[in-house]
Amino acid sequence: MIAIITAKPGLRDQVLELFHANMPAVHAEQGCVEYVPTIDAEGFGPVQAEIGPDSFAVVEKWESMDALKAHAAAPHMAAYGAKTKDLLASRVIHVLTPHGT
pLDDT for residue 84: 98
Residue 5: how many other CB atoms lie within 10 Å: 23
The torsion angle over the Cα atoms of residues 74, 30, 62 and 21, rounded to 10 degrees, is: 50
- Condensed to tens digits (0 to 9), the pLDDT of residues 62-96 reads 999 999 999 999 999 999 999 999 999 999 999 99
- Condensed to tens digits (0 to 9), the pLDDT of residues 11-41 reads 999 999 999 999 999 999 999 999 999 999 9
pLDDT for residue 3: 97
User: What type of residue sits at position 98?
Assistant: P
Domain coordinates in residue numbering, the chain? 2-42+50-94
7, 87 contact by CB (below 8 A) = yes
pLDDT band at 101 (very low <50, low <70, confident <90, very high): low
Residue 76: how many other CB atoms lie within 10 Å: 15
pTM tops 0.85: yes
Give CATH for domain 2-42+50-94: 3.30.70.100
- Give the integer Cα–Cα distance in Å for 39 and 41: 6
